[in-house]
Structure 1
Amino acid sequence: MNLLPRPVSYVDGGRLCAYKGWETVLVDGPAGGYRLLSSDDGVLIEAHDAAGEMNALQTLRQLLGAQAFRAAGEKPAVIPACEIVDHPRFEWRGVMLDVARHFLPKREVLRYVELLSVHKLNVLHLHLTDDQGWRFECRRYPKLTEVGSWREDSRFGDRRSAGLKGRPHGGFYTQDDLREIVEYARQRHITVIPEIDIPGHSQAAIAAYPELGVHGGGVWTDWGVNERVLNTEESTADFYRNVFDELMDVFPSEIIGLGGDEAPGHDGELVRAIARHIVRGGRRPYGWDEILESGPLVEGTVVASWRGVEGGITAMRAGHDVVMCPEEHVYLDYRQSESLDEPIPVGTVTTLEDVYAWEPVPAELTGEEPGRLLGAQANIWTEHLDSARRVDYAAFPRLAAFAEVVWSPPEKDPGFVRRLAEHHLPRLDALGVEYRPLSGPHPWQRLPGVPGFPR
């Protein structure tokens, strides 16, 4: 449980104890789990592993109150006398952050790593390339960043009715930047999973190296599905083998993302070729559920089920591991209410309550499938989120609801919104997160006149 761990049994009627620090002992138990005991003698943490200790320390921080989340200032001196026994429900508790459509500076990615840790989330999936920008420094192919990392303009709002902003946009991460992000996350027991998207969503790469594409063209300034995809030449497969070699050198994660989504007219052979190359490198490929439609998957492939849960069910029944991230439940760029005040309203209405009500395990599963449900992931696409402030607005507090869903037992707490308002929003305030208020956006969070495309 993330916002107020449960079960909680208070010692001596819930009296307060002076906070004197903690002692940690490693014990047997579920991965990531812990027992926290607070008394006059101090705090004792019994943890299964180092991740369990980190989770316990985040709970301890919660118990100390919102002031404990400030970077400086007077710190709390008391803590409730209590015993808390807690562990995560799923091993994959993730967030996909799209830094390709709108680039987030390194400092903001590091901030999101910290926010994931606060919410006991443990996977950061970085969407590093798309039609609108290439964000990974590939030393063998420098034009990928020299040309592909910036675009001349950006659509402001939905492509069906919006104009252009009239200014360039760009940026990329050096390999040293990314190694820093990986290490910062590792210290917080968060795995960073990179994604280079192929064969679609590749216009930025084609702009840099036109021989990769079926058609030419510059870095895309529009949103949506682009019909310009990579060609099927062996030279293109060789190019991407070299790119993924550098990617795997920077990112030590077992799982490496290769996209595979929304590629009109492509037969999937390039995806299979790169998947085999990832496996030869000792890693596991990770792709969106469209990869199921182009023949048998390479052994070890993990499937992200985004077009509903059906793809994930099919993959598990075929023996593949799955991460559930269906757009109708956990796409956090989708609008948060029917109100006209919602900025750039796209997608279906996905309220805080909708996210909290979601159950990641489909009812159709029997528990006897040869593949595993690793967990779930919330996706933050940034076509319409052009700054860290806009990302905060879209992500929070819905990401707090998602974090509780993937940590806690499936039973829902009717007091969730009350607990959020009373206990967790003050923590977000202390952290400086510019979340959407429960009553609707602040005046400065609205974008009147910028068209969206609500469904």
Structure 2
Amino acid sequence: MIVPKPARFETRLGRFVLDRETALAADPALGEVAAWLRGELSPVTGGQLLPGRPGPGTITLGLDDLAPEAYRLTVAPDGIEIDAGGPAGAFYGAQTLRQLMPAAAFRRGAAGGPLELPAVHVQDAPRFAWRGAILDVARHFMTKGDLLRFIDLMAVHKLNVLHLHLSDDQGWRIEIKRYPRLTEVGSWRKESQVGWMGEMDGRPHGGYYTQDDVREIVAYAARRHIRVVPEIDLPGHTQAAIAAYPELGNLDTPIEVSGTWGIGSNVLNVEDATIAFFKNVLDEVLELFPSPYICVGGDECPKDQWRTSPSAQRRIRELGLRDEDELQSWFIHQFDDYLAARGRRLVGWDEILEGGLAPGAVVASWRADLGAVAAARSGHDVINCANTSVYFDYRQSERDDEPVPFGTVLTLDDVYAFEPVPAELRGDPAAAHVLGAQCGIWTELIDSNRRIDYMAFPRLAAFAETVWSGPERDLPGFRARLAAHLPRLDALGVEYRHESGPLPWQTRPGVPGRPEDPDAWQATIDAWTSNLRNAR
């Protein structure tokens, strides 16, 4: 009962006994995968899973003429073979092998001993190249240890992109040596709002990753075939940076790191010095993150300060721009050119469609499907991040005791029904521009690792299947496989949401969420739709 569902799965006669006598043989190119698998299986078998030769009683990892992420797994009574197109495929084959074991084998410190694995033949490959999760560590910081644990959970589900939201109004989370105040000042806020509209909690909150932390995180993820894509949000969502360096903003008065949620009014100015500042920031970011994709946000940037700024208005006149939307487009273009010159590609949220799209940009489309359709048809690659389908900060039921009562209801079934290719693009050659999709774990109201567990799982398992497996949906089949998968999550210590609702220790009643005003919500959606249609 494998999650996500393999392309082909056949049961065969017999069983393989995995014990302390089992050996592991691997093509030299798959040595790192072999080392990882040995580390996972040796505690389970009670032995060291010593290197051996292909043959009876051996797990063999080999290369074959397959796509890089594709694999074949054969478990027979006399041995196990994983043939793959490359290290990533071998790793995914090894993850499938683990899911053939009893759920208790996933528990750290599980007692070692012989395990019987069913004989099977699996042929598998992912549908999409981009299978990601957005993790917002800016609103609520996540320790390095907890982040590494989340990477392991992504790997179990064969996701391969971790989009780290590292900066926002409420915090700056990455050490930049040239600008130390970004973390000295920008990584801490005095207090945080309770709920979306609640009182302040009076507790300082903060933290950041040193550059050595980042190197460790990136390397740890790479060994699990997960690419870490950093996001430094600009020109909006920048109050923490402006609090650290007031000259980046549009006001003459100092401001603090924000402790409230929503769209902040403080945005970057458009001076040459500010653009140079963030290029210097990105110089250090690029050294730490080898990802060919770098996200610069571009979302939810209010233009009020630019409308009253003599400097911004002068820039509009000098450049012959139509309005502030085109000014933002010009601003984003500066970083598109900067990244392209260094062999990287800019990723931005779908607001970058408004006012003109930077030539080489990849669009992370979050406001329903219109942005994805517009970007793909104009020749731009797209990552589908539709908030209506894959935002895991949204509530999971109408129950009053949901611990994070925010947004519209997004159930497990709703997530499983998600299709990364918008309906308007199906059958259109432009659909080839859909690289894949990402689920979003935004943490304004998710203030602990335990809450992340509850909000992400098991919805992340449903999402993983939408980006790995074929476009067909089989909800009863998925639920049957999920029933076998949940004990694995239990063994891994994941405090997921149960079908019956939150368990007694998971509830947190009385926390205000987004006001349930259908007219206001619809007005927001109508505004998004109008802006995106105009951009097309």
Fold shared by both chains (TM-score > 0.5): yes
Other structure's SS at 2:278 match: helix
Deviation of 1:231 (Å): 0.5
Which position in structure 1 is the counterpart of 2:16? 17
Contact 1:129 1:196 in 2 (8 A): yes
Which position in structure 2 is the counterpart of 1:432? 493
Which position in structure 2 is the counterpart of 1:70? 107
1:414 aligns with 2:475: yes
- Over 3 Å counting, the alpha-carbon distance change for 1:188 and 1:243 in structure 2 is same
CA RMSD after TM alignment: 1.4
Deviation of 1:224 (Å): 0.4
Name whichever of 272-281 and 283-292 sits farther off: 272-281
Amino acid corresponding to residue 379 of structure 2 in structure 1: G
1:281 pairs with 335, 338, 342, which one? Answer: 342
2:503 pairs with 421, 428, 442, which one? Answer: 442
Which position in structure 2 is the counterpart of 1:36? 73
Deviation of 1:74 (Å): 2.3
- Over 3 Å counting, the alpha-carbon distance change for 1:370 and 1:18 in structure 2 is closer
Other structure's SS at 1:436 match: coil
Deviation of 1:220 (Å): 0.3
Contact 1:256 1:284 in 2 (8 A): yes
Contact 2:3 2:482 in 1 (8 A): no
Contact 2:416 2:463 in 1 (8 A): yes
| Alignment coverage as a number of residue pairs | 450
Contact 1:3 1:62 in 2 (8 A): no
Amino acid corresponding to residue 89 of structure 2 in structure 1: G
Distance 1:374 1:405 in 2: 13
Name whichever of 306-315 and 370-379 sits farther off: 370-379
- Over 3 Å counting, the alpha-carbon distance change for 1:24 and 1:295 in structure 2 is same
Other structure's SS at 2:486 match: helix
Which aligned pairs between 1:69-148 and structure 2 lie closer than 5 A?
69-75=106-112, 77-148=115-186
**TM-score (normalizing by structure 1):** 0.96
Which position in structure 2 is the counterpart of 1:333? 393
Distance 2:355 2:150 in 1: 35
Deviation of 1:6 (Å): 4.9
Deviation of 1:373 (Å): 0.7
Deviation of 1:420 (Å): 4.3
1:235 aligns with 2:273: yes
Contact 1:62 1:68 in 2 (8 A): no
Which aligned pairs between 1:331-410 and structure 2 lie closer than 5 A?
331-365=391-425, 366-369=427-430, 372-410=433-471
Other structure's SS at 1:347 match: coil
Contact 2:68 2:87 in 1 (8 A): no
Distance 1:453 1:275 in 2: 35
Contact 2:211 2:288 in 1 (8 A): yes
Distance 2:481 2:134 in 1: 23
- Over 3 Å counting, the alpha-carbon distance change for 1:329 and 1:174 in structure 2 is same
Distance 1:284 1:4 in 2: 31
Distance 1:168 1:384 in 2: 16
1:191 aligns with 2:191: no
Other structure's SS at 1:364 match: helix
Q: Which runs of 4+ in 1 moved over 6 A?
A: none
Distance 1:204 1:197 in 2: 11
**TM-score (normalizing by structure 2):** 0.82
Amino acid corresponding to residue 11 of structure 1 in structure 2: R
Distance 1:240 1:197 in 2: 10
Amino acid corresponding to residue 229 of structure 2 in structure 1: I
- Per-residue CA distance 1:59-82 (angstroms, 9 max, x = gap): 000001212211122245110011
Deviation of 1:421 (Å): 4.5
1:252 pairs with 290, 307, 332, which one? Answer: 290
- Over 3 Å counting, the alpha-carbon distance change for 1:3 and 1:279 in structure 2 is closer
Deviation of 1:305 (Å): 0.3
Contact 1:348 1:454 in 2 (8 A): no
Distance 1:294 1:344 in 2: 35
Distance 2:103 2:395 in 1: 28
Distance 1:254 1:64 in 2: 36
- Over 3 Å counting, the alpha-carbon distance change for 1:245 and 1:371 in structure 2 is farther
Contact 1:2 1:407 in 2 (8 A): no
Deviation of 1:5 (Å): 3.3
Distance 2:434 2:115 in 1: 42
Distance 2:245 2:205 in 1: 20
Deviation of 1:344 (Å): 3.1
Contact 1:3 1:424 in 2 (8 A): no
Other structure's SS at 2:423 match: coil
Higher percent of residues as helix: 2
- Per-residue CA distance 1:350-400 (angstroms, 9 max, x = gap): 000100011111121133128611000000000001110011111000001
Distance 1:103 1:82 in 2: 42
Name whichever of 29-38 and 250-259 sits farther off: 29-38
Which position in structure 1 is the counterpart of 2:262? 224
Amino acid corresponding to residue 16 of structure 2 in structure 1: C
Distance 1:101 1:278 in 2: 26
Contact 1:320 1:371 in 2 (8 A): no
Distance 1:24 1:420 in 2: 26
Contact 1:135 1:171 in 2 (8 A): yes
Distance 1:166 1:416 in 2: 47
1:2 aligns with 2:9: no
- Per-residue CA distance 1:17-36 (angstroms, 9 max, x = gap): 21244101211123311111
Deviation of 1:8 (Å): 1.7
Distance 2:144 2:127 in 1: 31
Distance 2:67 2:343 in 1: 27
Amino acid corresponding to residue 193 of structure 1 in structure 2: V
- Over 3 Å counting, the alpha-carbon distance change for 1:283 and 1:3 in structure 2 is closer
Which position in structure 1 is the counterpart of 2:315? none
Name whichever of 83-92 and 405-414 sits farther off: 405-414
Other structure's SS at 1:377 match: strand
Name whichever of 175-184 and 365-374 sits farther off: 365-374
Other structure's SS at 2:140 match: coil
Other structure's SS at 1:438 match: coil
- Per-residue CA distance 1:127-184 (angstroms, 9 max, x = gap): 000000000100000000000000000001012xx10111100000001100100000
Name whichever of 225-234 and 124-133 sits farther off: 225-234
Which position in structure 2 is the counterpart of 1:323? 383
Other structure's SS at 2:100 match: helix
Deviation of 1:418 (Å): 3.4
Which position in structure 2 is the counterpart of 1:270? 331
Other structure's SS at 1:276 match: helix
